[in-house]
Structure 1
C-alpha cells in the first residue's frame, strides 16, 4: 500500500503564531489607547505596521526554536565546544588518586603490563603521607631480564608523572612466577577437542590467579549498562576504559577445592577428579606465593609429566605430545585488541543557521509606502522624501530592537562562554577586519575598534536597511574628495567609509546605549556563577578566595576576569588537583655556566624599566591577552603541582609581582644610591626569580627531602638480656621503607630465622646486617614491630644528630614559601584567604606550613634549593657546591667543590631548619 502524504493542521506555538501575536497586540492597544484609535481594519497604516512587526516576531520565534546544537554551529559547520562545555571524559576523569586508579593507569600506559598489585606503606616511623611499592604482572612470554627491568623502569617514570602531593613511589618490581602443576583425571565431553581444552584451561587458571585486565570502549560499556560515572571513574585511559570492579586482588594461596569450579567452568570439561597440587616438585595441600610472586600453574607441564590425565566417556585418552601446543599455549589468552580510545562522545548532528543576518521589515511593506528599495530620493519632491524618511525613522526603531534580538540569539555561544567577550557587535567587527590586509589589521587607524569589556547584550548595525544613510547622524562626515569622482561615486565612497568607522555617531552611540556598565558587570558575574555551579564549584567560595585579587581595581571586573580564567583552565586544574610535580622530568630552573650551576638571580635588564600595564589597551582590558598569558598546558603540571598553579591563578600572583617590580623600578630610577647595592634592587631580583623560575611560590615536599638521604637501620629484640642487635648502614630511602615494611608484616619466627643468618629478605633480595652484642641502654628511641617482639630504629647518619627522623621539618607534608617583601603578602587578608584556599584544596592527610622569608633569608635559601632541586632529576651529576661566600644576588665565583644528592638535601634541610628556628624564636 502506497504511503499517503498529507498536511496535518496542528496549532503553532504562541511565539510563532501570527494570529495569536496580533490578537495579543490588539488587546493591549484597545486596553490602553482609549478612543484615539478606532480603526483596526487592514486599511489603517497602523495595522499594516503591526502586521509587519508580528510577522517579524514569528521569524524570531521560529529561530528561538532551533536546537541548541544548531544555534552553536558556526558558519563552517563546526559545533562550538571549546570554552563552552567540558566533555564527560574531560571533566569526570581525574589524575590517579586511589590504588585502583594507579592500577588502571599503569595497565593502560604500558602494553606489556597485564595487571598490577600495589602496597601502600603507612607506618609510624616516617611522618610522610604514603609510599607505594608497586608489583607489575608482566606478560609471561617476556623472560628477558633486561626487558623486564626496562618495563619496571618505564612504570616508575609513568607513575611519577601522576604522583600525588606528599607521596612517593619506589621502583616497581616485576612479579616472579612460582611454578606449580596440577594432577588428577580431567574428564572431557564427547565433542571436546583436547588441544583446545588445555589452551582454555591454561587461560582460565591464569585469569583466576591474577587476570589480564581487559580494556573496552565507551560504547560497549554503555551497552552493558554502565553509567558515565562508572565508565569515567579514574584517570583518562588512552587504550580503552577499565571498570573498577574488574580489578581483583592477586591470589597468593590456593587450595585444590578452589580450582575445581574454575576447571569445570571451561568449555569441554565435564569434571575433574583426584585433583592434586604440586609446588617445588612436591605434592602440597596449598599453593602459596609471597607478595612479590605470582602462582604460575603450568597446564602443559602437568600434562607432559602425566600428572594430568585426560579421559572421555570413562576411558583414558592416549598421551599426545601436542607439539604445536608447546609453541602456542603461552600465547593463548582471552584476546583483547588494543583500542584506540575514542572519547565515546558522538557530537550531535547540527546545521549552521544564519540567525544574525537581519532582513528589515521595511522590505516587506507595500510599495505605496515608499520605504523599501523604491524609497523616494528625488530631491524635486522634498515633501514626499520627508514623509518617507519620517516613517523610516519610526520603523527603524522596531528594526533595531528586532535586529538586536536576532544578534543576541546568534551569540548565545559567547554569552555562555568561559571566555569574556570583547565586542558587543561581532558581525560589525568581522566586517571591519574583512576588508583589511594583515598589515592594516596590526596597524589600525582606530584604537580598539568595537572593543568593550565583557558585554552581555549583543547588537548589530542596520546599514543594510534600504536607504538608511540619511537617517544616521553625521552620515555625510566623509563626503569629501581629493579627486574627480562623480557625485554618485563620492556618495558611495562616503557611505562605505562611514560604515567602516567604528566610532561613527550611530554605532558608537548604539554601543553606549545598549547596556550600562553596572548592569553588564552584574549580569556577566551571574552568568559566570552559573557556569561555576554547573561544574560543581561554589561561586561564594570562589568569591571569598579571590576577594582581594586585583587586576583592574574594580572588584566586579576582577571577579569576572578571575572566574573566566578559572573556568578556561578548570579541565586541567580539576583533573590534576591532587597532583605533585614530576621531579623526574621537570625542566631545569638553573643553568650551567662554565661547568658550574648558576645560582644567581635574574639580572635586571633595560626592558624591565620600560614595563607598562600590558593588561589594558586604550583603557580597555585586554581579555585575549590575559587569557593567553594565564592559559595552562599539560607540561606545566610536570614542572609544578596542581595546587601551585591554581594558587597562582586565583590569587593573581603574576600580576602582584609585576606591580611590585614596576613600583620598585620607579624607586630605582629616582634613587641616587648605587642600584646594585640597594634593597630595592635585591627585592626586584627576588621577585623576578619567583615569577620567571617558579609560579609565584615555592612548594617543598618533605618526602622528597627524605628520598635523597641515606639511612641506618638498627634492630633489637625486646625482653632479652644482652640480646643481639643488628645494623645496616648507608641504605637509600627505598631500601629503608621496604625493610620497615618487612619488619612490620613478618612474624617473629621468620624474623628469628633470617636474623640468625644476619639478613632480612625482601622480594628475593637479601639485605645483610652487621650483628652486635653491645648493650642498648636506651630503648625509648626504638619502635616496636607490629607482629613481633623486635624493635628498630632508623637514623640519618649524615645529620650530625641535628637532623633526625623526628626533626620539625619532617612533621609537615609540605612547605609553601613566599617572599615577605611583597606588600600584599604581608596583609592579614591575604594570609586569611591563603589559609582558606589551602584548607579547601589540600587533601585532608596533607599538613602544611606557610613561610614568608625576608630578602636575607632567601639569599641563603634559594641556592640550597636550586642545588637540591636539580639533584632530584640529575642524580648522577655532581653539582658545584655553594660556599658561604657565594650569594645569589651577586655573580658566583668559580669553585671546584662538588656535592652529591644526599649532601644537597642535607644543605637544604639545614637551611630550612634554621629558618624554622628563627621563625619560632620570633613567635
Structure 2
C-alpha cells in the first residue's frame, strides 16, 4: 500500500472567539451598540461612520492580541546584545538543571572527567571509634579500651571516603598530579558532613584465560585475537564512554535527564554506563565464552579455562598475589576493592580446520592500538549547552488609529484643507478628542507589553508595575488638551493612583518563584507578625529578599547539599560557605551569608552608676545604638531594671524598621536647633540622638538619612556559623587526647545515650547571635528552626544555638568618681564608658584625670562570652585547618578550643510574655503560648 503525503490545509472555521477574532469582536461591539442605543440608532450598515470607527478599534485590538500572542522569547528579546541579555535574564539548561555531586555516581562522573583517570570508585573509609561507657567520665578513642572496668562499644564513623583510581596507561599523566587534582576537585564539591581521607591506586587481581578457538576459514586471525583480548579486557574492567549532546538527544532523553549531575568538561556520562563499570564481584567463565563467540570470525571454542594468575617469581607486577577469595573452574570471586585484569600468562590458541594458526605480533599490536584509540576517542566529547531561544526583537510601538480612517474624515496626518469651514474643522477636532481616549487606553496596553521583560525579571531597580506612554503622531494634539504641557504628568498621576507596587510586585515575584516550586509564605507571615507596624519597610525587605533569591537560584539550588572548601583561602571574610548556608540565608532574608565577624557591641545596654551627695550611689541602665565614634540613638530615660531597658530596646528595634518613625524635633532653647528622634505610633519620643544638634533643617535631614542607613544595615546585618562536627575529628593522628573533656558524651553503664554516642558523624552545630532584632524573637526563631530542619538533608542532625544576649558589651566597666565635697563642682554626674555628663554637652575624661579621680569596677558575665568565644575559636580552627603544611588538618589545640566553646554554649532567651489570646495588642510582643512555644532544641 502506497503512503500518501499529508498536506497542511487551512481550516474553514477560523473563529477563535477572543482578541484574535476580528469578526467576533465586531459582532460583540455591534451588540453593545444595539443594547445601549437602539432607540436612537438603527442604521448599523458598514458605511455608517460609527460602525467604521468600531471596526477600526476592533482591528487595533486584534493587532494588540497578535503581539501578545507572540512567542515569549520574542517579547523578552532585546534590540542590542540579545544573546548576553537573554542569558542574564534566564538560566540556561547547563546552569539550572545541573547540580553539584550528591551521589557516588555523581562523584565518579567528576573524577572520570579528569584526564588520566580511566575509572574510579568511592568506598567507605573504615575508621572504628571505641567508646568507654563510664557514667562519670565517658571517653571515645581510636584504640580499643583493654582491661576496662566499664562496658565498651565500637562505633563506625560515617561520612569518610576512600577513592580508588584506575589510572590511564598513557605515560604523559603523572599519578601524583592526578591524585592532587582529585583532592582539589573533591573539596570544591564536598558534601555536607563528609570528607575524603585518601586516594589510592586500585589493586589488580589478574585472571588467566587459557583457550583454544576454531576460526572461520576467511577470518583475520590477528584482528580476531586483538578483538578478543580487548573485549575480554572491557568485560573485566570496562571503560566509561562519554556522549555528546547530540547523542544524548538521539537516545530520547529529556533535558533534565541529560543534565542530571555535575557540569563536566569531556562530554556526558550516563548512570547506565557508570553502573556497568562498577567493580566486579566475580568473573564467570560463561560470560567470557559468550563474549568470544560474538566476535566475527570465531567458529567455536574447543577448550577454555579460567583461574587466578599464579604468583610471579621475578619481575614487577601490579597484580595482588595474596588473593584469599574463593574460586572454582566456573566462577572466580574478586577481592573487595580489587579490579580484575587479564593476565599476561593467558594463552589463546587458534585453529582453522585441523591446522594451528600462528599470529603476526606486529599486526596484533597494530589492531590493538586501533581499538584502544577508538575507545579513547569515545571519551573526548564536549559538554555542550542547549541553545537558548533568542527570539526576534520587534519594536512594540503604538501608532494612533486615527491615521487609519479614510482621509475624508479629516483627521489623517494630512489634516483638512485650509479652504474648509471652521465648523468642519471643529467637528474633526471633536472626533480627534473622542478617539484620543481609545488611543490612550491602547497606548498604555502596548506600553505594558513592551515592559514584559522587565516585569518578568528580578530587577531590583524596578519601582513601578504600571506603565504609561503618551500617544504620538496626532496632529494638533496641543489643541485637544487644555494643559498639554502637563499631559504626561497628569496621566502618570492617574497611573500612580492605580499603582500598588508592593502588592503587584510581590505577586509577580511569587509567580517566578513558584516556577521553581519554592514558596515564601512562611517567611512573609513571620515578617509581618514580627514587624507588623512597619508594613512598607517589611514589604520592601520581602521584595528585596525575593529578588535576590531568584537571581542566585542557580547557585542555591545546585549547591544545596554542598559544604564549604576548607582548603581554600581566605578562610574568613569570604563567601566560601556551604550551599545550605547560602540557601537558608536567602530564604530568611539575610543580606550577607559570608563568614565574618558576627559579634559586635553596636546595640548595647549601658550600665551607669549615678553618684550624688544626697542619694549616694545607685545603678541605672540605658540602651544605645552606636558606632565606634557616635551614638545614633539612645533611650529617652534611664531604667532601674536592666530587663526594662531590654524590653524597650526590643520595641525600638521593631520601630526602627519603619523609616517614617525617624523624625526631626527642635530643642526648647533659644537656638531652636534640630535633633533626630525615634517615635512610636502615638508620636511619643522613645529614643533620640543626644549631643548632636543641627542649625538647619536641610543638614538635619541629611543626618537623619545617614542614621536610617546605619541602623538599617545594623538591623539586618545578621548571619550564622555552621560547623560540621566531622571536621573536628582528628583521624590523621588518631589521637583523641584531651578532646574527650570537650565532647558532649552522655552515657550510662549500658552504653545507652541520651544523644547519639558518636559526636562526629552527620552532625552540624548552627550558631546564631541571639540578640539581634529578629533573632531575639521567639516566633522568628521557631521559623528559622523549622526552615533549617526542612532544608537540611534528612540524614544530618542539627544542633541549633541562639548565643549571646542583647546586653551587648561583654566586659562592663563601671567608673566611679571620687568626690570629697561639693566644692569640686560636680554634684550630680552619670559616668559611662569614660564619658561624664550632667545633662550638658558630653566631654571625654583624660586618662590622667581618670586615673586620679576615678575608681574602676569590672563586671564580667560568662554567658555573654559565648558568641565572642565561638567566633574567635572558629576563626582560629579554620586558619589552622587550611594549612597545607599540616596536611589540611587543624592542630590539636585549635580543635580542642573549638570543641570546648561549641559544647559550652548556652541558648539565651529574651524575656517573653505569656500571650492572652483575647489581647490583640500583644500580637507583636515576644509571645510564649503554653503548649505551643518551643523554647529551643538540641
TM-score range normalised by the length of the shorter chain: 0.5 to 0.7
Say whether residues 1:296 and 2:341 are aligned partners: yes
Alignment-derived partner of residue 903 in structure 2: 913
Distance 1:552 1:467 in 2: 46
1:110-149 matches, within 5 Å, as 110-121=114-125, 125=129, 129-142=158-171, 147-149=174-176
Assess if the C-alpha contact under 8 Å between 2:117 and 2:165 holds in 1: yes
Alignment-derived partner of residue 845 in structure 1: 795
Distance 2:872 2:185 in 1: 29
Distance 1:345 1:520 in 2: 36
Alignment-derived partner of residue 483 in structure 1: none
Say whether residues 1:817 and 2:857 are aligned partners: no
C-alpha distance after superposition, 1:478-519 (max 9, x if no partner): xxxxxxxxxxxxxxxxxxxxxxxxxxx333333332365675
Distance 1:818 1:311 in 2: 78
Q: Name the SS for the 2:443 alignment partner.
A: helix
Distance 2:419 2:409 in 1: 17
1:120-519 matches, within 5 Å, as 120-121=124-125, 125=129, 129-142=158-171, 147-248=174-275, 249-272=278-301, 273-281=303-311, 285=328, 287=332, 289-298=334-343, 301-302=344-345, 307-322=347-362, 325=365, 329=369, 331=372, 334-339=375-380, 341-348=382-389, 350-354=391-395, 356-375=396-415, 386-419=426-459, 422=462, 452-453=463-464, 455=465, 457-472=466-481, 474-476=483-485, 505-514=486-495, 516=497, 519=500
1:797–1:819 Cα change, 3 Å: same
1:349–1:908 Cα change, 3 Å: closer
Q: Using the TM superposition, give the Cα deviation of residue 221 of structure 1 relative to its aligned residue in structure 2, in angstroms.
A: 1.9
Assess if the C-alpha contact under 8 Å between 2:769 and 2:802 holds in 1: yes
Alignment-derived partner of residue 645 in structure 1: 582
Assess if the C-alpha contact under 8 Å between 1:288 and 1:295 holds in 2: no
1:61-80 matches, within 5 Å, as 61-76=65-80, 78=82
Alignment-derived partner of residue 684 in structure 2: none
Distance 2:223 2:365 in 1: 9
Alignment-derived partner of residue 875 in structure 2: 866
Say whether residues 1:581 and 2:608 are aligned partners: no
- Within the candidate set 568, 589, 599, 2:551 is matched to 568
C-alpha distance after superposition, 1:183-239 (max 9, x if no partner): 121333333322222322232222212311111023212212333343233223332
1:421–1:372 Cα change, 3 Å: farther
Distance 1:421 1:392 in 2: 37
Q: Name the SS for the 1:823 alignment partner.
A: coil
Alignment-derived partner of residue 747 in structure 1: none
C-alpha distance after superposition, 1:828-875 (max 9, x if no partner): 011011111101110111111122232532333322222211122214
Assess if the C-alpha contact under 8 Å between 1:186 and 1:309 holds in 2: yes
Say whether residues 1:831 and 2:781 are aligned partners: yes
1:654-803 matches, within 5 Å, as 654=591, 664-665=625-626, 669-670=630-631, 696-706=719-729, 709=730, 732=733, 796-799=736-739, 801-803=741-743
Distance 2:633 2:516 in 1: 54
Q: Using the TM superposition, give the Cα deviation of residue 344 of structure 1 relative to its aligned residue in structure 2, in angstroms.
A: 4.7
Distance 1:21 1:167 in 2: 65
- Within the candidate set 93, 106, 109, 1:101 is matched to 106
C-alpha distance after superposition, 1:304-334 (max 9, x if no partner): xxx3212223421125443761895594562
Q: Name the SS for the 2:242 alignment partner.
A: coil
Q: Using the TM superposition, give the Cα deviation of residue 704 of structure 1 relative to its aligned residue in structure 2, in angstroms.
A: 0.7
1:338–1:78 Cα change, 3 Å: farther
Q: Using the TM superposition, give the Cα deviation of residue 67 of structure 1 relative to its aligned residue in structure 2, in angstroms.
A: 2.8
Q: Name the SS for the 2:591 alignment partner.
A: helix
Alignment-derived partner of residue 622 in structure 1: none
Q: Using the TM superposition, give the Cα deviation of residue 98 of structure 1 relative to its aligned residue in structure 2, in angstroms.
A: 1.1
Distance 1:843 1:241 in 2: 27
1:878–1:916 Cα change, 3 Å: farther
Assess if the C-alpha contact under 8 Å between 1:118 and 1:133 holds in 2: yes
Assess if the C-alpha contact under 8 Å between 2:105 and 2:271 holds in 1: yes
C-alpha distance after superposition, 1:600-650 (max 9, x if no partner): xxxxxxxxxxxxxxxxxxxxxxxxxxxxxxxxxxx94xx111121122223
C-alpha distance after superposition, 1:233-292 (max 9, x if no partner): 322333221111222321143243342222323333333323233413489746555344
Distance 1:91 1:470 in 2: 55
Assess if the C-alpha contact under 8 Å between 2:164 and 2:200 holds in 1: yes
Q: Name the SS for the 1:322 alignment partner.
A: helix
Distance 1:922 1:539 in 2: 24
C-alpha distance after superposition, 1:283-303 (max 9, x if no partner): 9746555344322204xx346
Q: Using the TM superposition, give the Cα deviation of residue 812 of structure 1 relative to its aligned residue in structure 2, in angstroms.
A: 7.1
Q: Name the SS for the 2:54 alignment partner.
A: helix
Aligned length: 694
Distance 1:237 1:647 in 2: 27
Q: Name the SS for the 1:584 alignment partner.
A: coil
TM-score between the two structures when normalised by the length of structure 1: 0.67
Assess if the C-alpha contact under 8 Å between 2:866 and 2:906 holds in 1: no
Assess if the C-alpha contact under 8 Å between 2:165 and 2:202 holds in 1: yes
Alignment-derived partner of residue 318 in structure 2: none
Q: Which runs of 5+ in 2 are unaligned?
A: 1-6, 130-154, 313-320, 322-326, 604-623, 635-645, 654-706, 747-756, 805-809, 811-864, 910-934
Distance 1:859 1:212 in 2: 54
Distance 1:579 1:563 in 2: 22
Distance 1:906 1:366 in 2: 91
Q: Name the SS for the 2:375 alignment partner.
A: coil
1:548–1:242 Cα change, 3 Å: farther
Alignment-derived partner of residue 932 in structure 2: none
Assess if the C-alpha contact under 8 Å between 1:310 and 1:317 holds in 2: yes
Alignment-derived partner of residue 661 in structure 2: none
Higher deviation after alignment, 191-200 or 39-48: 39-48
1:180–1:469 Cα change, 3 Å: same
Assess if the C-alpha contact under 8 Å between 1:128 and 1:702 holds in 2: no
Assess if the C-alpha contact under 8 Å between 1:180 and 1:280 holds in 2: no
Q: Name the SS for the 1:96 alignment partner.
A: coil
Distance 1:262 1:191 in 2: 20
Q: Using the TM superposition, give the Cα deviation of residue 802 of structure 1 relative to its aligned residue in structure 2, in angstroms.
A: 5.0
Distance 1:327 1:269 in 2: 17
Q: Name the SS for the 1:149 alignment partner.
A: helix
1:387–1:420 Cα change, 3 Å: farther
TM-score between the two structures when normalised by the length of structure 2: 0.66
Q: Name the SS for the 1:166 alignment partner.
A: coil
Q: Using the TM superposition, give the Cα deviation of residue 655 of structure 1 relative to its aligned residue in structure 2, in angstroms.
A: 7.8
C-alpha distance after superposition, 1:113-164 (max 9, x if no partner): 12221113588846865112111221134598xx212212211111111111
Q: Using the TM superposition, give the Cα deviation of residue 400 of structure 1 relative to its aligned residue in structure 2, in angstroms.
A: 1.0
Assess if the C-alpha contact under 8 Å between 1:644 and 1:699 holds in 2: yes
Assess if the C-alpha contact under 8 Å between 2:744 and 2:759 holds in 1: no
Assess if the C-alpha contact under 8 Å between 1:463 and 1:469 holds in 2: no
Distance 2:161 2:58 in 1: 71
Runs of 4+ in 1 over 6 A off after TM superposition: 4-10, 376-382, 548-552, 655-660, 804-808, 917-923
